[in-house]
Structure 1
Amino acid sequence: MAKQELKLNTQAPNTLDGRQVRALAFMPAREALLDQLLGDFSSSSRRALVVGGGYSPLAQALLDRGFETTVVDPSEEAVEIARSLTPGARFMVAPSVTIDPSLGDFDLVYCADTLETHDHLDQMMGQLAKALAPGGWLILDTVADTVIAKFIYLLAFQRLPFSKIMPSPRYAASRLRNPEAIRLALRNAELSLEKIIGFEPASIGALVSTVLKRRSGRISDREIPAASGFKLSDEAHPPVVTYFAVAHKDA
């Protein structure tokens, strides 16, 4: 099959949406973290906000775990698709750096596909903190500032013709941040960091193979999670490329 046209926030025929490819690949690790965290979730209220969810399965994963779920995304096209795929959630089109305070407080805020695409980390963290209810939890997933991460995100995903899945310059070196930068931003927003944990594909070969097969149309979107095999890393190992930061707001 011919290579797919690269275009974000679409399910149009013969296109490849790099946001969705990435989101689908990450879902096994995201769900593993949710299950790990929710084992200790004691709040009787379950209101969740997803920032930057696009039309990924993340909203459905939260609905399945008993959360009343709201998704805010800057793409009108992605939100239109998401409404049809996940009718049980509430969707709003808005810049990810501006969360409407009228939405109220949330017991869980999940920030996806956002920190690595925005320049103003402290501004973003302040908005996320305001959206949290006292005692609420924040999950961030983002990209580390490492040599390997730069090769994958700045070169392979944006520039190399055979592996490109994103338009350039969606990612920039200044937006790739190591845990220490996240830790400082959380502290400035008066949030308490609970843990940093990386997540990774089954192997580099599995990731490369998945991207190449999806680029050429040899696998569909629904085959991406199993093909890439993303999982949580050993907590003792510093994040190599992608990682979660889990924080909470004091009650």
Structure 2
Amino acid sequence: MQPPTALNTALAAGDTAAVIAETLAMDGATTVLDVGCGHGGLAKALTARGFQITGVDPGEAAIDAARAAAPEADFAVAPGEKLPFADRSFDAAVFLNSLHHVPEARMPDALGEAARVTRARGTVLVIEPLAEGPFFEGVRPIDDETAIRNAANRAVADAVRSGRFALRGNVVFERKERFADVDTFISRVVSVDPARAASIEARRGEVERLFETNATRQDGARILVQPLRIYWLRVPA
């Protein structure tokens, strides 16, 4: 992948939504499925850029939050491995930090479903956090996702090798997140998975120490960097 200027700028800034938007725009995508949409952050960002977004998530509470965040988008409660849409319904599908939340045995099904509902020669983007970096190290004692993140990357590689997708490129870039203090970091981590709260409470001292060790200071805030890999996939004709 040799990105044009706008995409290069987004990659350098670590602006994940802009990276996704610029890549989709390069491919002429308009209708986009957000697989594992969570609370609707990406849907909100993409609808603001003019994309027609449909989001799915298996959690009803997440979908309620997504509808509030992005009222212009459409949403449905559904798992990524069983999408309630007809074949070739979308120009593109996106997994943003969501494939590794699918049970490992079902990851091939989720990728297959994304290929099914995306038009021929359409785009599937998979953005996955790597099991490394300051943000990862801060979260690791709470929820060590090393194995499942690596499994998600293997699932993408297997899908390409099998011919389910053509790999147009993959790039690693760094997302920088700002936190006022350790409490805002903890709130962010728990928002992804509320089950983490008990582990944080039990290991609060270690969480605080690792936050201070891994964060850098900038303008009164703490910065944690998370490397992400974006896979730019094409559905065969």
Query: What range describes the TM-score normalised by the shorter chain of this pair?
Result: 0.5 to 0.7
Conserved 8 A contact 1:105-1:131 = yes
Q: What is the identity, as a one-letter code, of the residue corresponding to 1:131?
A: V
**For 1:98, what is the secondary structure of its paired residue?**
coil
Quick check: 1:250 aligned with 2:236? yes
Partners of 1:92 and 1:113 lie apart in 2 by 18
* Preserved contact between residue 28 and residue 229 of structure 1 (Cα < 8 Å): no
Partner Cα separation in structure 1 for residue 52 and residue 182 of structure 2: 37
Q: CA deviation at 1:62?
A: 1.9
CA distance in 1, matches of 2:39, 2:174: 22
CA distance in 2, matches of 1:228, 1:152: 9
Task: Report how many residues are paired.
Answer: 191
CA contact (8 A) 1:48 1:62 kept: no
CA contact 1:138–1:246 (8 Å) conserved in 2: yes
The TM-score normalised by the length of structure 1 is 0.63
State yes or no: 1:108 paired with 2:92: yes
Cα distance in structure 1, aligned partners of 2:173 and 2:117: 26
Q: Deviation string for 1:207-245 (max 9, x for gaps)?
A: 6x667251477xxx9xxxx96487xxxxxxxxx842111
* CA distance in 2 between partners of 1:94 and 1:39 (Å): 26
**Residues 123-162 of structure 1: matches in 2 within 5 Å?**
123-144=109-130, 146=131, 148=132, 153=136, 156-159=138-141
Query: Larger strand proportion, structure 1 or 2?
Result: 2
TM-score (norm: length of structure 2): 0.66
Structure 1 counterpart of 2:41: 57
Q: Deviations over 1:167-198 (max 9, x none)?
A: x47x3514424856523223425211111111
Q: CA deviation at 1:117?
A: 1.8
Residue by residue, what CA displacement relative to the aligned partner does 1:109-139 show, whole Å, maximum 9, x if unpaired? 0112322122133222111111111121111
Q: Residue 212 of structure 1 corresponds to which residue in structure 2? A: 182
Which residue type is aligned with residue 157 of structure 2?
Answer: R
Structure 2, unpaired ranges of 5+: 1-12, 192-220
1:132 partner amino acid? T
Tell me how far apart the structure 2 counterparts of residues 156 and 227 of structure 1 sit (CA, whole Å): 12
Match of 2:170 among 185, 188, 196: 196
d(CA) in 2 for partners of 1:76, 1:127: 20
Q: In the alignment, residue 113 of structure 1 is paired with which amino acid?
A: N
| 2:8 equivalent in structure 1 | none
